[in-house]
Chain A
Amino acid sequence: MILYTMMPYELVFPDEADSGMKQQQIVNYQGIPLLVELTDQQNVQVIRILSSDPQHFMDERVCPGAKISFGNLEGMSAI
């Protein structure tokens, strides 16, 4: 793989492995693809909306930071 970027290599690949990141998954919530983070046993929190439809970004149920219960998610799919 060749990176063509103006970011210095050290910034892209830092030395110390930071494992503080929570588990992220891609889910489909009412037809909207979302990148979510597991917050606790019942809920996930929206990190990013992956849809290309700008209307989906206006939906307050899936705005970044919103919590969605596992029960409402149709299919959980791992990355």
Chain B
Amino acid sequence: MDNELQKNESENQEGGEPQKEDKPSSALIEKIQQLGQTNVPQLSTDSKIHCLTIIGQIEGHLALPPQNKTTKYEHLIPQLVAIEQNPKIEGVLIILNTVGGDVEAGLAISEMLATLSKPTVSIVLGGGHSIGVPIAVSCNYSFIAETATMTIHPIRLTGLVIGVPATFEYLDKMQERVVNFVTKHSNISEETFKDLMFAKGNLTRDIGTNVIGIEAVKTGLIDEVGGLGQAMKKLNELMELHKEENKGLIQ
């Protein structure tokens, strides 16, 4: 009974939202009369598609100074676990506008996305640089906005000269992990990716390449140039396919 009342209330609220501006006080009084309080916990209409935004720096083992805008690993991972478990969520949209960040945290998020059993689609808007590249390609299908860019450059230790061969090897292995992941999850070949990574004369302070929109698609890194509309359409298509596959399994 109580549930029904709440349901009705939340439905009323949603239905009545456009008119809310006309008579806000009467709606409020109605609420007080009906439930004796103004703050009604809404039964949120569960969205089929959830959305994760990867912005700023990807923060890993070390908390970055507070002026950095960060995407925290410990926020995203539990959300992905919840998305995987919740049967009501059918698809995930990943929106990237990141400058990069921690290698291990970035790869962790990428692996989680790549192994998620539900359809995933990513859009690179603005920028998906450095460790944002594996995250972008980890999804089932990836989009890049026409104006968006992705910087591909080698992993290095803050521009310092590497003195010990072991350090170099460690960095090289770290880089290999990124390269392997990207080549495994996208259509780019290792050779092309490394060519882009070690290209000279493209970036002012670094070696590497800045690929913009269509170039990312041409190199095979990203699947298609597009924005929100295309990405949602693709995600819905993938969700339909996923549903049919599951049906087949049950029968």
Binding site for B on A (CB under 8 A): 1-9, 12-14, 17-18, 21, 30-31, 33, 50-56, 59, 72
Task: Determine which of A8, A55, A59 lies in contact with B205 in the assembled complex, contact meaning CB atoms within 8 Å.
Answer: A8
Pairs A–B under 8 Å by Cβ, sample size 18: A1-B60, A1-B62, A2-B102, A2-B157, A3-B102, A4-B101, A4-B130, A5-B100, A5-B101, A5-B129, A6-B100, A6-B151, A6-B153, A8-B205, A12-B57, A13-B64, A14-B65, A21-B66
Query: Cβ of A18 and Cβ of B49 under 8 Å apart?
Result: no
Main secondary structure of the interface of A (DSSP, over half): loop
Interface extent on B, as a size class?
35 or more
Give residues in B with beta carbon < 8 Å to A.
39, 41-42, 44-47, 49-52, 57, 60-62, 64-68, 75, 79, 82-83, 92, 99-104, 106, 129-131, 151, 153, 155, 157-159, 171, 174, 178, 205-206
In the assembled complex, which residues on chain B have CB atoms less than 8 Å from the CB atom of A31? Answer: 44
Kindly state the separation between the CA atoms of A1 and B129 in the bound complex, as whole angstroms.
Answer: 18
What is the CB-to-nearest-CB distance from B65 to chain A, in angstroms, rounded to a whole number? Answer: 6
Extra contacts, 16 of them, besides A2-B102, A72-B39 (Cβ < 8 A), are: A1-B62, A2-B103, A2-B171, A3-B57, A3-B102, A4-B102, A4-B106, A5-B99, A8-B205, A9-B158, A9-B159, A17-B65, A52-B79, A52-B83, A52-B92, A56-B44
